[in-house]
Chains A and B, each alone.
Chain A
Amino acid sequence: MADTNAYESTAPDHGFEAGFGDYVALLKPRVMSLVVFTAFVGLWIAPVAMNPFVAFCCVLFIALGGGASGALNMWYDADIDAVMKRTANRPVPAGRVPATEALGVGLALSGLSVMMLGLAANWFAAGFLAFTIFFYAVVYTVWLKRSTPQNIVIGGAAGAFPPMIGWACATGGISLESLLMFALIFFWTPPHFWALALFMKDDYSKAGVPMLTVTHGRKVARRHIFAYTLVLAPFAIWLGFTSVGGPLYLAVSVVLNALFIAGGWRILNRSEDAAQADGYKVEKRYFRLSLYYTFLHFLALLVQHWMGGW
């Protein structure tokens, strides 16, 4: 809070009035796309059928909740966002939207999304969404992000909840399948972000965010990336043996995990000099692969559901 106030006092005041797009940008639309997709898959492959319009509303409200937590994150992190090249042009650090307005938008959308999800689906799913917003905005952003190098490991849970919420919208509860979908994103998040941190090193150092690459060194980060890749694979493949899996999902999962482990192995065995020499080519390729990894796993679940037992 003190950080945010300090930021506000230095924010440019040139009578700028935010456009509608600036408020949309507060909701982090790119992050929201992952939330929308995974929540939709969780909801659609659940064993209880939902009316398509109600399902659409549920996904929309989950996305809105994700956007609300993004706005709260931008409000609190305005000071460090201003320092990092990757985030400096966000509406709050760029001075297009006052930090207090970001807070207002975040709180209002949080309440609205939770209430509407409760009315559209059930109150278990709504409570789950409220917990997810709290987890991202308070546990990750306020408590963990600036205090521990394990920030993205624990905070990654917030990004892993949407498919569980989608599943809860349809079934009203939790099951092995939804827990495994959670595990798939939860264990994927650390290698994904640490690979990013390897080639965006100056950003996190300048902002004073204790990323593993900064606090424990890059060699340790490379070891962690490989270790998490190994932990992730069994959970991803296990999902293939549950009621939502099948041969197609299994085939996709085995190939993707083999590629992911091979990528992690290459990162592990690279020296920092070699990485700098080729502009972090391997790390960037691994990061791109990690984006496809989650998308293709969830796409495979969706296609598998349509194909039935095949």
Chain B
Amino acid sequence: MQQVEHELHQRRRSRNLGLLAVLLAFVALVFGLSVVKITQGDMMEGYDHRPRASVLPQDPNAPARDAAPVAAPGTPGALVDGTVTAPAAATAEGAAVEGGQ
């Protein structure tokens, strides 16, 4: 009877130790995967593998984000001989500075 108890405990210990090893291995695996995913520099969102716009390289030819609306010819703010009338020029300069950042 005592021997049966002893064997039962041995089996239980083997199972618990095995489970511990599996759990530790799983933690190591997830940690390793995270390290690889981060360090290999993929421009990925972790959850859906889609490119994240904020980390994409900037396109020098892209239009400025808050560019001033182009004024219709003959209206205040429209280009007259290559210069812009005062109120609209201030807005355009501000947008150019922001777009260049």
Contacts and interface: CB of A to CB of B under 8 A. Distances in A.
Interface string A1-45: 000000000000001011111011000000000000000000000
B36 A20 contact: no
B65 to A, nearest CB: 32
Interface stretch (B13-21, B51-59, B75-83, B87-95): B13-21
B36 A53 contact: yes
A57 interface: yes
B42 to A, nearest CB: 10
A51 B44 CA distance: 15
A54 interface: yes
A23 B15 contact: yes
B63 to A, nearest CB: 32
State the majority secondary structure of interface residues on A: helix
Contacts, number: 37
A20 B18 contact: yes
Nearest to B39: A51
B49 A23 contact: no
Contacts of A15: 4, 8
Contacts of B11: 17-19
Given A57-B33, A119-B33, A20 B40 contact: no
Contacts of A20: 14-15, 17-19
A254 interface: no
State the majority secondary structure of interface residues on B: helix
For chain B, the bracket of interface size reads 10 to 19
Given A23-B18, A51-B40, A122-B49, A17 B12 contact: yes
A19 B14 contact: yes
Interface residues of A, number: 17
A142 to B, nearest CB: 28
A123 B15 CA distance: 33
B40 to A, nearest CB: 6
B26 to A, nearest CB: 9
A57 B29 contact: yes
Given A51-B40, A122-B49, A19 B15 contact: yes
Contacts of A24: 18
Nearest to A54: B36
A18 B18 CA distance: 12
A169 to B, nearest CB: 13
Contacts of A289: none
A60 B22 CA distance: 13
Contacts of B37: 54
B20 to A, nearest CB: 10
Given A60-B29, A122-B49, A21 B36 contact: no
B32 interface: yes
Nearest to A21: B14
A119 B26 CA distance: 14
A18 B15 contact: yes
A53 B32 CA distance: 8
Contacts of B4: 15
22 contacts: A15-B4, A15-B8, A17-B8, A17-B11, A19-B11, A19-B18, A20-B14, A20-B17, A20-B18, A20-B19, A23-B15, A23-B18, A53-B32, A53-B33, A54-B33, A54-B36, A57-B29, A57-B33, A60-B29, A119-B33, A120-B33, A122-B49
The 10 closest A-B pairs by CB, nearest first: A20-B18, A19-B11, A19-B14, A20-B15, A20-B14, A17-B11, A53-B36, A17-B8, A51-B36, A53-B32
Interface of A: 15, 17-21, 23-24, 51, 53-54, 57, 60, 119-120, 122-123
